[in-house]
Amino acid sequence: MDKICFLTAAALGQRYAAGDLSPVEVTERHLARIEALEPALNAFQLVDRDGALLAAGEATARWRRGAALSPLDGVPVTIKDNVDMRGLPTRNGSLTSSTAPAAGDAPVVARLREAGAVFLGKTTTPEFAWKGITDSPLKGFTRNPWDSGRSSGGSSGGAAAALAAGIGTIAHGNDAGGSIRIPASFCGVFGIKPTFGRVPHHPMEGVFATVNAGGPLARSVADAALALQVMARPDRRDWYALPQPSEDWLAGLRPCLRGLRLAYAPDLGEVEPDAEIRACVEQAIARLREAGAEVEEVGPVVPPLRPIFEDFWMAGFAHLLRGVPRERWDELDPGFRRIAEQGLDISAERLLAGEAARARLHRHFAELYERHDLLLTPTAPHVAPPAETVYHSPNYDRWRDGVAYTLPFNLTGQPAASIPCGVSAAGLPIGLQVVGPKYGERLILEACMAIEVMQEQAPHPQLLARLEAIGR
């Protein structure tokens, strides 16, 4: 294992300041790791070697002058390829997308660039981020570093796969139905979807504009918090953005469980997790109780989502389909096209019914938080499926197998995170989802820091063995 590539952002900063490691050296190691592992992972849409080395050289000079821009100065970061990065194309996993370079940075990229982050490249996503696994007509299958026969999850699948493999210290993702949390669970990393509007985004329009949230994935909770503090800085282009938080809104985070009132909903939305998932999560729950948390099992909490929100989902994809020239529809992912075409005839009345249902869903959770501080669920009902899985098919239904535990919190705008809580008998990671009330990121992060302390060695020995094998 190249231990340098698994260092935290804080550890990198300490060594940069001491002068015994430079951003250029670190970037070169990450680029070498991409060269060794990318053929097996297929996690990058584009690697920006020249841009990364240029930014690393500038960061090295700043650290040597004692003028680092932030704790992220010189830290390797990846960006999901559905947001704009100046000078590089935004392909959205689609053959129908433009190859022209973006004229400017999306807000999250701009904030990270201002902080001195070194961008290694853009990571893969399914076409228009439409599903919870990552394959696309443009790039093919992104594979899980724990088992290359398995999916990395989606839609931030390239972000999570690269990060788990020790490529990049922090990964940018975004999440409109579970797209940060599902790949975090499948790849054994931490990921947090913040409160809607916390991280500015532009451009953003259509049905999915009010369910999508950008955020970080990282190999440690502290690194994710560091990145989130930067990502949440304001950008006037986002009409939905929350008021700017105070500069120290995530300062002084510490592990905290004792005295917390935690609700546990293994069957959220009347979905049953696999027995192995449930057993692993409940072992984690037992450790939380031992650490002083009060945990109460609360039942399904909300009704099944599909009957209420399927129209809402299909209408959102129909909006995206209308932006693709009709003569190019045959180039689209057949699964995406099928769902999007079904959405073309959904009326405004049916769409508004979905919006009304979102308000009712919010009230369910508002009542829960009158009695509890946080909600715990599995992140996903299964471990990572085979990479070639056909999404939203009889064998892997979107509502039953994909987003059952994650989507409710996009619809309500609540913050939610996935943190590793164990490994299956087949050697695949399992995630625990930690959900809070709106604006409750700090509470989630502190609880996850405490959970992190209870985990096995990271990186996990089984993952390291697999990475050694595929890197030879």
Active site residue 94: no
Q: Helix axis angle, 9-18 relative to 49-65, nearest 10°?
A: 60
Q: Which of 24, 16, 27 is nearest to 168 (CA)?
A: 27
Catalytic residue among 179, 185, 220, 418: 179
Alpha-carbon distance of 406 to 10, in angstroms, equals 30
155 as an active site residue: the answer is yes
Cβ atoms < 10 Å from Cβ of 457:
7
152 given a catalytic annotation = no
Element (H, E) at 225: helix 221-231
Size of the chain in residues: 472
Choose the catalytic residue: 22, 70, 80, 220: 80
Q: Which two tokens stand for residue 242?
A: 């929350």
Number of H helices, E strands in the chain: 14, 15
CA angle at 30 for the pair 24 and 34, rounded to the nearest 5° = 140
**Catalytic annotation, pick one of 151, 152, 155, 418:** 155
Written as six digits, the tokens of 287 are 């450790």
Would you state the structure tokens that stand for residue 444, as one six-digit string? 């989630």
- Residues with Cβ within 8 Å of 459's Cβ and at least 6 positions away in sequence, in order, are 1, 6, 164, 166, 219, 467
Evaluate whether 299 touches 265 at the Cβ level (below 8 Å).
Answer: yes
CA gap 368, 330 in Å, rounded: 46
Known catalytic residues are: 80, 155, 179
